């Protein structure tokens, strides 16, 4: 196996040398064609993103999932992780977990690439970055990062100070603030919302927040998203994001920069979720849990009941080295406001919350983690949305679903021009 991998790596290196020689060799007129600076930058970025795999899996959706040795993952490009000892499991797990009602939701959910194989122990699955992925970005340097947004205060709504209405971004969320939070959990159903333009996206996630959005926001985010600009298609994908400076220069999606340490060999960040919910049909949902290990101060992520994905080392953050000051759950879309009309990009299922189960999107069994590492129900849960006639949210509470809310909408409609 080692000899085969060495041969593959050597062949790849030789191929790149030949490509570079070809691009600087004299053409038929005796002039030299030099490789462009952009092409060299793309090549260097692809080398950084795509670590040598021990095995590769071709997913039915066209993705290539590389099984990369756990010690060779992108996290360890970070200068403070050069000699990091991987924590293979959390020291503590939150207690008192409220189980989801299996009588209501019985459909299993997975990732599409898993139909074609699996990654061996000691590796992690990494979605391979393609040249076309990098080219789609606004700039090579910003690939995998959120675009910095300008603030625009809403006159209609009293928003939390970290959710000032952002130019082009709209939300339908539930949130808590004013306490110390050490994690959050929820179950959310998964949809495939329509996206009007490639530079728009639609996502559903939870946010772990501390600091000020204007300058030094610390944020950990996890959920599902449809983002043609990032992935090159309209598939619904599992994703994470983090930043320690309000999206200015730190952090990224998934594993597209150093930071997040993955330990799981079964779940690929950025990979397609399969299957997804259908209107008035089968419903599929996922559990997301993010919590702080009180011993190591790392923030861990769990997908489903038993897939502990990995952790964000505590030193990546400033405020989140202690605790979060706000938790949010819900949906977000980009509205490019082309020609003055509201986008038709859907949030969630694309239907309003009042349509209910089987038709609207939901978050249920919403919980926070307290300073004793115990789950508890959130108190004083509030709703925020910029334009409820475009996207809305409605709170509820019931036995098996605990604290929940429906959310979403179609975007442009007769009441949302």
> Where in the sequence numbering do the catalytic residues fall?
221, 332
**Ramachandran class of 331: left when φ > 0, alpha when ψ lies in -120 to 50, beta otherwise:** beta
Three-state DSSP class for 358?
coil
> Would you state the structure tokens that stand for residue 264, as one six-digit string?
């799981």
Number of alpha carbons in the 13 Å side-chain half-sphere of residue 365: 22
CB 237 within 8 A of CB 270: yes
Question: What is the CA 204 to chain-centroid distance, rounded?
Answer: 9
Q: Scanning the structure block, which residue is given the tokens 């919403």?
A: 366
Rounded CA gap, 181 and 159, in Å? 19
**Contact (CB, 8 A) for 326 and 176:** yes
Find tokens 């207690």 and name the residue: 95
Q: What is the 3-state secondary structure (H, E, C) of 311-327?
A: EECHHHCCHHHCCEEEE
Query: How far apart (Å, rounded) are the C-alpha atoms in residues 211 and 220?
Result: 12
């Amino acid at each position: 196996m080692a000899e085969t991998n060495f041969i593959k790596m050597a062949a790849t290196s030789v191929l790149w040398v030949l490509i570079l020689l070809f691009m600087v060799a004299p053409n038929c007129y005796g002039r030299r064609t030099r490789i462009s600076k952009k092409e060299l930058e793309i090549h260097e970025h692809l080398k950084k993103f795509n670590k040598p795999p021990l095995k590769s899996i071709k997913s039915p959706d066209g993705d290539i999932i590389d099984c990369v040795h756990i010690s060779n993952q992108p996290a360890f490009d970070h200068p403070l992780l050069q000699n990091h000892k991987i924590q293979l499991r959390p020291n503590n797990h939150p207690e008192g977990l409220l189980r989801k009602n299996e009588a209501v939701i019985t459909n299993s959910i997975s990732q599409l690439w898993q139909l074609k194989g699996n990654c061996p122990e000691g590796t992690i699955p990494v979605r391979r970055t393609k040249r076309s992925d990098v080219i789609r970005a606004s700039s090579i340097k910003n690939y995998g990062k959120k675009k910095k947004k300008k603030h625009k205060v809403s006159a209609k709504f009293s928003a939390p100070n970290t959710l000032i209405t952002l130019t082009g971004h709209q939300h339908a969320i539930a949130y808590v603030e004013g306490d110390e939070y050490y994690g959050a959990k929820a179950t959310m159903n998964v949809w495939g919302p329509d996206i009007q333009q490639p530079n728009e996206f639609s996502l559903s996630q939870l946010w772990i927040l501390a600091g000020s959005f204007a300058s030094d926001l610390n944020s950990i985010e996890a959920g599902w998203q449809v983002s043609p600009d990032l992935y090159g298609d309209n598939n619904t994908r599992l994703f994470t994001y983090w930043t320690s400076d309000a999206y200015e220069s730190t952090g990224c999606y998934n594993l597209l920069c150093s930071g997040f340490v993955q330990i799981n060999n079964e779940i690929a960040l950025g990979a397609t979720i399969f299957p997804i919910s259908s209107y008035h049909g089968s419903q599929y949902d996922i559990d997301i849990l993010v919590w702080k290990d009180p011993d190591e101060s790392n923030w861990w992520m769990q997908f489903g009941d038993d897939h502990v994905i990995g952790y964000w080392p505590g030193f990546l953050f400033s405020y989140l080295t202690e605790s979060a000051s706000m938790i949010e759950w819900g949906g977000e879309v980009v509205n490019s406001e082309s020609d003055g009309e509201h986008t038709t990009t859907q949030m969630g299922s694309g239907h309003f919350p009042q349509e209910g189960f089987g038709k609207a999107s939901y978050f249920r069994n919403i919980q926070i983690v307290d300073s004793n590492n115990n789950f508890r129900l959130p108190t004083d849960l509030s709703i925020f949305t910029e334009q409820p006639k475009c996207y809305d949210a409605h709170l509820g509470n019931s036995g098996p679903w605990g604290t929940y809310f429906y959310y979403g909408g179609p975007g442009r409609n007769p009441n949302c021009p």
